[in-house]
Every structure is written in structure tokens, then in C-alpha cells.
Amino acid sequence: MTSMRPAISTVCSLDASLGTILEDYAAGHVDAIDLWLGHADAFLKEHGVAALKDRLAAQGIAAVAASFQGGLLTSQGDARREHWSHFDARLALCRDLAIPVLVVAGDAFGPLTSEDLGRLSLSLREAAARAADAGVRLALEFDSRASFPNNLQSAVAVVEEVGSPALGICLDWFHFTVGPSKPLDLWLLSNDNLAHVQLSDIADVPREMAADTDRILPGEGSSPPDDLVARLKEIGYSGAVAVELTNPMLWRVPPRQFGEIAMTSLRKLLGLAEM
């Protein structure tokens, strides 16, 4: 039997406060979340880390990942210092809340020079070292719109080059589907290099024109993640699989209703028994 952990990203209910989301998701039988860091920042500003830890415990919810940290790869100057300061704070938050995985955005856009690629590699090495010290694993999310890496094969190569157990892959099925990744690339996944999975399907639009706002529940659109789920079972993947939707239409659904529907759909997709 698979040991995958089904979860819901709080970004699926972006318009609600984190306190409301936690209460309503728990009522909808959600016991694991991918914590959207924008939600966390707003909550912490008012209540602090201890209050968030208590709130998670009170609702019986585990934060199995946090998304996302951007700006680490090729930024320079003051912007770079700001991003890395923010990164250190988020590593501390993950450590304090016992969040095992922090998603790092593969946000290297525009023309890249050899110097940029060298900076990207060094940045990931440094980030992985800091994460290891904090007891957190980073999950590099390739972005289909980025210059590099924009596909699973390249992302796996980057992670292997760094060679740190504190750095793995975040596979976002949307970016896998709409970008240059190929079905055969799924064979590159292993239980060692895969750190986190984010699932969504795509509404009835051409893949070339699909945007984040076209994300819908997995299994309800034109790109069901059946092949990915089969591969996860083959490798004995033991991490989290989170529904992640950035669709303003779905943000209008009350969090309790969304959480219940999304978790039921996800458990069915993963072949897990009903709760």
C-alpha cells in the first residue's frame, strides 16, 4: 500500500484567512496542507509563530510543505540580499513548525548567460546547505515558462549536480504538462530525488494557451495525472501530494466545501481508502 500523504494547498482558498482555512479544512476532513507562505505571512503579522503552531495542532492539521520561496537562483545586488534574508526567515519558520519541505521557485527568466547558470548552481548549493542546517528539505519547482530549468529532465540534472540530500524536485503537474517535459521523463523520478508533488488538471483549453487560472481539480480536465500517479506508486513515493489550484473562480468556493471535495477527489485519484 502506498504511503503518499494527500494534502491541499491553502492557495486553493486564497481569498480566505488562514485561520478560517484551517478551521474549515479540518471540518472538511483535510488533515494535511501545503502552506501558502502569503497566508502564513499575514497570520504571523497578527498572531506570531506560537499561535500558528497551536492552531495547526488544535485542528489536527500537519503542514507537510510550504510554498514558495522565490528569487534565490539568479538575483543580484540588493534584491538578492533581500531574497536570501527572507529565505533564512522561512527556513526558521519551517523548523519551528516542523514543516519538512520548502518549495523553491525555479524562477530564472529571460536570457541567461554562462555566469547566470553558474550563479544558479552555486545558489542551490548554498540554499541546500542552509536548509540542511535547519533540518528542512528544499523542493526545486521547475517552471514551464522559465529559461532554465523548464522541464523535469533539466531539473533532475540540476538537483543531481548539486548532490545534496537536502535538495529534491517539486513536480507540479501543470508545469510538467504544458511545458517541454515528456512522458518518458517520469522514469527519472525516484523516491530519493522527489521531494514534493503538486497536482491540478487543465480546463478545456489548448495546452499552449493554458494559464495558472485554468487549473482545475485533478482528474476533471484534459490532462489527468494518471501516469504520474502510477509512477509514484512504482517508486514507492512516501512524500506529500497536494492539490494546488490558482483559479479565481474556485477561490469563491467556501473553504470547507472545497476542502471536502478536493480531498475526496485526491484520495480517489491516489487509490486511498475513504476517510
HEC profile for the chain? CCCCEEEEEHHHHCCCCHHHHHHHHHHCCCCEEEEEHHHHHHHHHHCCHHHHHHHHHHHCCEEEEEEEECCCCCCCHHHHHHHHHHHHHHHHHHHHHCCCEEEEECCCCCCCCHHHHHHHHHHHHHHHHHHHHHCCEEEEECCCCCCCCCCHHHHHHHHHHHCCCCEEEEEEHHHHHHCCCCHHHHHHCCCCCEEEEEECEECCCCHHHCCHHHEECCCCCCCCCHHHHHHHHHHCCCCEEEECCCCHHHHCCCHHHHHHHHHHHHHHHHCCCCC
The superfamily (CATH) of domain 5-270 is Divalent-metal-dependent TIM barrel enzymes (3.20.20.150)
270, pLDDT greater than 50: yes
pLDDT in tens, 83-139: 999 999 999 999 999 999 999 999 999 899 999 999 999 999 999 999 999 999 999
pLDDT in tens, 133-167: 999 999 999 999 999 999 999 999 999 999 999 99
Provide the whole-model pTM.
Answer: 0.96
